[in-house]
Chains A and B, each alone.
Chain A
């Protein structure tokens, strides 16, 4: 499926596994060192969609920045596609909390950014970005400046930019945190459509229990700071997921389980 849309570049295949083993990370705070992560272990299967959920300040973002290669752990291993790598920048695609669109680039050029940075010609990169935009309902907005897009559109464009990178895995750091509930619901279905088309591994940070259950194959629950993963729940709802499933008893059961796990952490 992904072959016609994206051509694989680099040595790591799309749909790689992600693994962190006993990762520790401490920052220098104003009043002494602050442990952000204390022995996080996490495994995301190839081509799986996993969510990481936890209270704010539990180090979720730090964990993702370590996976992306923006930070190094003080201790522990990071394995991508089974290989420990120190220089991880450029291996996983990363989507920050805000959309990170560059205001001086039209939508199509923002989506094509990763390709042009790699040296792909502007025309070729634009064409691939345009194809992706057309296919996932943003074609009309290709020539718009970012300020002309709605919040939901900006996030769609930002996500397609992440997709077009065609990386080992996609790390989404609370991509929908800033959006209203209705837009968020629309984006969930849209995101799953895109994901099923490209077959990449996705790890998503959220603090929304329903979002985690609706999107993910597995939900990893993190403890408050210093963070570590304390429980993993497989979500065995069939795919493709539909919004109606959110009304099902099974869905409510998963939500209850997760809420319970989060409550235990707070206590």
Chain B
């Protein structure tokens, strides 16, 4: 069966894309201006590159060391992605349990909220003591860091279901499971993705911190050895790489959100961006 085309109120995709470009160039301009100012300042004041290397030096040195930097980026990316995946699976399961059972909601959820007073960073040495120096403890620490925003987003999303829609579906004879799958879960996606987007901004940072505490490879190790060799430009290179990877991960999640929620009004999606 073919569906009728949507009414004309939908923005043509081309116009939307053009608006996207229009919004993209002002921040790009600011970024370029900042880089230029940085470069000029380091030359003008003849700052030692060991203290503050200029962006050109950072770029050329990082490019020259691309083999090492690239493999460090890959190692950390794997840890970050696996950690996010683990956190998402656990968080979704827990959120559904919290939503489904009053006992879980009343007993576990407050403990979970209170657990956030623990500085997770201090758990890093413990995680290394328990799980060693491999990939496992990094993944565990990323998951610990990113779990909380995801679970809170998912729980809030599930709780935000429109009571009137729920009543309506009950009069249609919907079972509890149908209510969950047909109303609450799709309705929770917006909150869930908001939580996930907050979470992924922690993913690389937490993976790098876990590497500081003890690792053989990764961006954290790369930064430390560059620092020990007084190769400040390579430290900067690793910082820029981390920022780019985090932005890429965030963009990936935002893209996933659009794909997962095709029913979103374009304007609303823009606000979330």
Contacts and interface: CB of A to CB of B under 8 A. Distances in A.
Indicate, yes or no, whether A interacts with B.
Answer: yes
Interface of A: 65, 68-70, 89-90, 92-98, 100, 102-106, 108, 113-114, 117-118, 123, 126-127, 130, 139-148, 165
Counting from the closest, the 6 A-B pairs by CB-CB distance are A90-B173, A143-B3, A94-B171, A104-B186, A100-B168, A114-B172
Given A70-B170, A104-B187, 19 more contacts: A68-B171, A70-B167, A70-B171, A92-B171, A93-B172, A94-B168, A94-B171, A95-B168, A100-B168, A102-B182, A103-B187, A103-B263, A117-B169, A117-B178, A127-B1, A145-B265, A147-B265, A148-B10, A165-B172
Contacts of B189: 104
B246 to A, nearest CB: 29
Contacts of B5: 143
B165 A100 contact: yes
A170 B10 CA distance: 34
28 contacts: A70-B167, A89-B170, A89-B173, A90-B172, A92-B171, A93-B171, A95-B168, A96-B168, A100-B162, A100-B165, A102-B183, A103-B187, A104-B189, A104-B263, A108-B3, A113-B169, A113-B182, A114-B172, A117-B173, A117-B174, A127-B1, A139-B4, A141-B7, A143-B5, A144-B4, A144-B7, A145-B263, A148-B7
B259 interface: no
B107 interface: no
B6 A97 contact: no
A252 to B, nearest CB: 35
Interface string B171-202: 11110001000110011010000000000000
A61 to B, nearest CB: 11
Contacts of B182: 102, 113, 117
A152 to B, nearest CB: 13
A140 B8 CA distance: 11
Contacts, number: 85
Given A144-B6, A148-B7, A126 B1 contact: yes
Contacts of B173: 89-90, 117-118
A146 B6 CA distance: 11
B3 A106 contact: yes
A100 B1 CA distance: 25
Nearest to A127: B1
B99 to A, nearest CB: 17
A6 to B, nearest CB: 15
Interface in B61-105: none
A140 B165 CA distance: 25
A175 B265 CA distance: 25
Contacts of B51: none
Given A70-B170, A104-B261, A148 B9 contact: yes
A123 B1 contact: yes
B4 A117 contact: no
A244 B7 CA distance: 32
Nearest to B265: A147
A225 to B, nearest CB: 21
A178 to B, nearest CB: 12
B270 interface: no
Contacts of B3: 106, 108, 142-143
Contacts of A70: 167, 170-171
